[in-house]
């Protein structure tokens, strides 16, 4: 069984990450928070036995060129978010994966147990979804390539999850849901969830 975790990761550039958060805390602090989220996400996936497939938004960052046989690096394709995810799944399924998950880097409540559960759900379901509180999802997994799941979705809206489930139900594709978790997009999210990201008292 060949398992992979696709991680969609924006390049950590000043003024280009967590822009809604930056409007309140400033670009430098938003970048610091984003780096904390990235490090947290990689710590959570590290124990999971699966290939880690990191897709950067624009270029492969030099500090991530680590000598780890379980990590591979790619650059996201052009197009909207759906196009980029669709192409990443297609690329990796063509490489022989049996189960693939995709996650971002802004969910402080994700952990290795949830990721393992997602893989387990793909034994019974064709698709697994981790719903986010904002109406999107923090995780999507498939045991076969289903390109239609990325079509006709209004990305970055509160209808992403509903539209995805509507497609699955219409096409009689069995899917499973994971626990509902929160992303960090706004200052209220950060204040509520920052303690999950670090053991230190330096984050404020």
Assess whether pLDDT exceeds 80 at residue 69: no
Share of the chain above pLDDT 90, in %: 75
Assess whether pLDDT exceeds 50 at residue 201: no
Confidence of residue 188 (pLDDT cuts 50, 70, 90): confident
The count of C-alpha atoms lying within 13 angstroms of the C-alpha of 131, restricted to the half-sphere facing its C-beta, is 16
**Which domain does 116 fall in, by range?**
3-196
Assess whether pLDDT exceeds 80 at residue 55: yes
Assess whether pLDDT exceeds 60 at residue 202: no
Q: Is residue 34 assigned to a domain?
A: yes
Q: Is residue 94 assigned to a domain?
A: yes
Q: Is residue 202 assigned to a domain?
A: no
Please give the average per-residue pLDDT across 116-135, as a whole number: 97
Confidence of residue 151 (pLDDT cuts 50, 70, 90): very high
50: left (phi over 0), alpha (psi -120 to 50) or beta: beta
| Mean pLDDT value across the chain | 91
Asked if residue 141 lies in contact with residue 166, where contact means CB atoms within 8 angstroms, the answer is no
Instruction: Work out the angle at residue 174's Cα, subtended by the Cα atoms of residues 177 and 124, and round it to the nearest 5 degrees.
Output: 80
Structural domain count of the chain: 1
Helix, strand, coil content of the chain in percent (nearest 5): 40, 20, 45
In tens, the pLDDT along 74-119 reads: 999 999 999 999 999 999 999 999 999 999 998 999 999 999 999 9
**Three-state DSSP class for 87?**
helix
Q: Is residue 186 assigned to a domain?
A: yes
Confidence of residue 124 (pLDDT cuts 50, 70, 90): very high
Query: Which residues does residue 131 pair with via DSSP β-bridges, in sequence order?
Result: 137
Q: Is residue 95 assigned to a domain?
A: yes
Q: Residue 93 sits in a domain of what CATH number?
A: 3.90.550.10
**Cα-based distances in Å from 55 to 73, 92, 93, 165, 181:** 6, 11, 15, 25, 22
- Least confident range of 30-39, 108-117, 149-158, 179-188: 179-188
Asked if residue 102 lies in contact with residue 8, where contact means CB atoms within 8 angstroms, the answer is yes
Interacting residues of 126 by C-beta distance below 8 A, sequence separation 6+: 142, 143, 144, 146, 173, 174, 175
55: which 2 tokens? Answer: 């897709």
Confidence of residue 1 (pLDDT cuts 50, 70, 90): confident
More confident residue, 18 or 114: 114
Q: Is residue 35 assigned to a domain?
A: yes
Q: Is residue 85 assigned to a domain?
A: yes
Q: Is residue 203 assigned to a domain?
A: no
């Amino acid at each position: 069984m060949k398992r992979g975790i696709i991680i969609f990761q924006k390049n950590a550039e000043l003024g280009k990450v967590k822009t809604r958060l930056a409007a309140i805390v400033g670009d430098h602090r938003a970048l610091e928070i984003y780096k904390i989220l990235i490090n947290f996400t990689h710590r959570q996936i590290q124990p999971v036995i699966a290939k880690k497939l990191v897709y950067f938004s624009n270029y492969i960052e030099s500090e991530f060129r680590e000598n780890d046989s379980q990590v591979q690096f790619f650059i996201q394709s052009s197009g909207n978010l759906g196009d980029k995810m669709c192409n990443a799944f297609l690329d990796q399924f063509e490489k022989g994966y049996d189960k693939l998950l995709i996650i971002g880097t802004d969910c402080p409540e994700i952990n290795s147990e949830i990721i393992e559960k997602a893989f387990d759900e793909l034994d019974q379901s064709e698709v697994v979804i981790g719903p986010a509180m904002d109406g999107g999802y923090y995780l999507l997994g498939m045991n076969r390539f289903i390109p239609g799941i990325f079509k006709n979705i209004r990305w970055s809206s509160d209808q992403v999850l509903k539209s995805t489930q509507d497609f699955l139900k219409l096409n009689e594709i069995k899917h499973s849901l994971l626990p509902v978790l929160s992303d960090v997009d706004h200052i209220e999210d950060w204040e509520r969830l920052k303690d999950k990201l670090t053991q230190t008292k330096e984050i404020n």
